[in-house]
Amino acid sequence: MIRILFLGDIVGEPGRKAVIRMVPVFLKERGVDFVVVNGENAAAGRGITGKIAIDLLRAGVAVITTGDHVWDQKDLPGYIETEPRLLRPVNYPEGAPGNGSVVLDTAKGKIGVLNVQGRTFMQPILDNPFRAAEMEIQKLRLETPVIVVDMHSETTSEKIAMGRFLDGRVSAVFGTHTHVQTADEKVLPHGTAFLCDAGMCGPEDSCLGREVEPIIKRFTDNLPTNFPVAKWPVRLCGAVVDIDEATGHAISIERVSELVNEN
């Protein structure tokens, strides 16, 4: 059995510090073998830098996925070419920097991770995520049946459709992007674990990880304003999935939602 921890969108400095602190705890105390996190909002709430990626990987994260904010930090295109464990959505057009999937060797066998971005209410509009995912999974399955998918998408319908589309062909499909954890975790009929949105690793007293008052002001007066990342404590959200390494089928899925204080 392989136990994989998937953590939702990291938001700013509080979120990444909480993840860096807690990943070793999950690895040691909860028997986790492999950790995937979505890091696309880890740098001041927008994008990710090479330095932040290095810090997360050193803490024990195996793979970092991203989404629509992947290019928001200027150093990222150069760095992502050098680090295969930092993914961008697979459905970017040919020639985009970096890769949309990776297969890593572990003590319990090879594990594949795929990052794909939805198109409904999302910018930029990328290639068809269903066809891109299907083609990439055919390649990944030549190396391993254990495959984890980050479906970075706005709508629940598109994420649910992707879970059902890939059921039996991958081990788990986790939705990201909305920063709000859903309560629909399940193992689908053909053996794929599914959670519509993993939630975020970001400030608890916030609006999607940002300070509340500027968000309210924007909604009430429609004027431009900054949205600073809120402060501690952090709600760490995601899920733990147990997978049969021989078949790649999920055995169980359990949501994670833990409050982490600054000190």
Nearest-angstrom CA–CA distance, 66 and 119: 15
Q: What is the pLDDT of residue 228?
A: 92
Alpha-carbon distance values, 30 to 24, 33, 91 (Å):
10, 9, 34
Task: Give the domain range for residue 45.
Answer: 2-260
What is the pTM assigned to this prediction? 0.96
| Partners of 35 in the β-ladder | 5
Statement: residue 188 has pLDDT above 90: yes
Q: How far apart are CA 172 and CA 4, in angstroms?
A: 10
Mean local confidence (pLDDT), 69-98: 96
pLDDT above 90 (res 114): yes
Q: Which residue has better confidence, 192 or 44?
A: 192
As for how many domains the chain has, the answer is 1
Condensed to tens digits (0 to 9), the pLDDT of residues 156-178 reads 999 999 999 999 999 999 999 99
Q: What is the pLDDT of residue 44?
A: 84
Active site residues: 69
Of 82-91, 130-139, 217-226, the least confident: 217-226
pLDDT, averaged across the chain: 96
Write down the pLDDT at residue 50. Answer: 96
Question: What does the pLDDT read at residue 122?
Answer: 95
Which CATH number does the domain housing residue 196 bear?
A: 3.60.21.10
Give the mean pLDDT of 208-214: 93
pLDDT at 45 over 80: no
d(CA 258, CA 220): 32
Decide: helix, strand or coil at residue 261. coil
Distance, in Å, from the CA atom of 89 to the CA atom of 250, rounded to the nearest integer, reads 23
